Amino acid sequence: MSPLLFLALAQPAAACGGLVTPDMVTKIAASDAQQALFEIEEASVTVTYRVRYLGDADDFAWIIPVPGEVQSVEEGSDTMLDMLNTATAPQVEWDAPDAEAESGGCSCLAQDMSLDKAGGDRGNFTDSGSVEVLGEGFAGDYSYQVLSATGTGAMSGWLADNGYDGSISADSISAYENDALGFVWIAVTLRPDVPVTADGGVVLKPLQITYGAAADGAVHALFPSRMAASTQLSEIRNEIFVIADQRVTAAGGWTSEDNAGGGVDVEGKEGDDPSELYDALLRSRGAAKGLWTAWGGTDENISDRYITRLDTLVAPGTNTSDLVLQDAEDQPAIRTLIYMPQAYDTGYGAIVAPLALALGWKLRRRR
């Protein structure tokens, strides 16, 4: 069992990422890694979330705050996220012929996951005095409801009324209830095929949400980081992809750095693990609410618009404000390169390969 999974199972109150169970003391539902794809238009934002789930709950809910009027909820595309992940991953330059074997090659997200299903008899939540159900439907295997909450503690009370323990996330939830943007909520219930996650966790099917303007009349592209502030996991990884008319940078108390100058980002030495080198780079930024702009540019196989990738690896307590995405002034070509020295003289040239999804998404097969 991996140390991170052991932490999730051994310690109570490890909820994060908007996952709650009927009893957070005895049953855990946590997420230590999330991907989000933002497709930004003038009057709307479409965001696709994909999270890695760790835990032992046979029943849990996934709640997502949305900063605007919800227009649609659909099943997202694994294929799109996998394409983006492969195209924008940090590149490892190996001066050895067996580089692909050493780096893990261009491995995509493992497909041997246990897919989670709609919530059965928990599929239809009920209204309460302070929470209104605005809409409901199905998105692939998911059943969902769109909710409006009025007053501090309304969502936590509503979760309790519907059999879920939201106490651990209560402070995070209240922050959205009191936000002037007027957040609404997407609530999804899940019943895992296998309650206890295997080593490496289970990646949930993506959920795609399109929303419009908030209460202030503006359209906001933001990642709800505050939902990950309440957890006992040691750190949380986010990989954020943005498709827009130009490059985006981080705001809202967050910063982003990049390698627009084109130099080598990370230099390793013989025996180093490239993924650990990249994690160290992210941690050095994340300690001060910083993200790394891992990639920027266009890829005709994905979109003719500009694609930005922002990565972060932070302690949960760092998530005191939401990550806001805003336009940048320039549109440079950005790429992250990890240079690994030649291990032995082979007569071959350097081999460049994507970092082998050591960014948290390569799942081990179930035993």
Mean pLDDT of the chain: 77
* Band of pLDDT at residue 330, cut at 50, 70 and 90: confident
Closest to 313 (Cα-Cα) out of 277, 359, 352, 350? 359
What is the model's pTM? Answer: 0.82
Give residue-wise pLDDT tens across range 176-187: 999 999 999 999
Q: Which are the contacts of 300, defined by CB distance < 8 A and separation ≥ 6?
A: none
- Are residues 94 and 238 in contact, defined by beta-carbon separation less than 8 angstroms? no
Would you state the pLDDT for residue 11?
A: 35
- Are residues 100 and 353 in contact, defined by beta-carbon separation less than 8 angstroms? yes
Q: 3-state class of 198 per DSSP? A: coil
What mean pLDDT comes out for the span 294-322? 93
Q: What is the dihedral of CA 64, 70, 72, 76, to 10 degrees?
A: -30
Res 122 pLDDT > 80 = no
- Are residues 206 and 50 in contact, defined by beta-carbon separation less than 8 angstroms? yes
Res 362 pLDDT > 80 = no
Give residue-wise pLDDT tens across range 204-250: 889 999 999 999 999 999 999 998 876 667 888 999 999 999 999 99
Q: Using CA atoms, how far apart are residues 251 and 240, in angstroms rounded to an integer? A: 14
Would you state the pLDDT for residue 56?
A: 66
Res 343 pLDDT > 90 = no
Give residue-wise pLDDT tens across range 260-281: 666 678 888 888 888 899 999 9
The single-letter code of the amino acid at 44 is: S
**Percent of the chain surpassing pLDDT 70:** 69
* Band of pLDDT at residue 8, cut at 50, 70 and 90: very low
Angle at 48 between CA 292 and CA 360, to 5 degrees: 50
Q: Using CA atoms, how far apart are residues 302 and 87, in angstroms rounded to an integer? A: 9
Res 153 pLDDT > 80 = yes
Res 253 pLDDT > 50 = yes
Q: Are strands 207-211 and 45-55 parallel, antiparallel or unpaired?
A: antiparallel
Q: For the chain, give every domain's residue range.
A: 3-354
Give residue-wise pLDDT tens across range 58-107: 677 788 999 999 999 999 999 999 999 999 999 888 765 444 434 333 32
User: Could you say which DSSP state residue 90 is in?
Assistant: P
Question: Token match 């580089």: residue?
Answer: 99
The CA–CA distances, whole Å, from 289 to 52, 140, 253 equal: 22, 35, 7
290: how many CB neighbours lie within 10 A of its CB? Answer: 18
Helix or strand run (H / E) with residue 349: none
Q: Are strands 303-314 and 60-66 parallel, antiparallel or unpaired?
A: unpaired
- Are residues 186 and 63 in contact, defined by beta-carbon separation less than 8 angstroms? yes
Would you state the pLDDT for residue 363?
A: 32
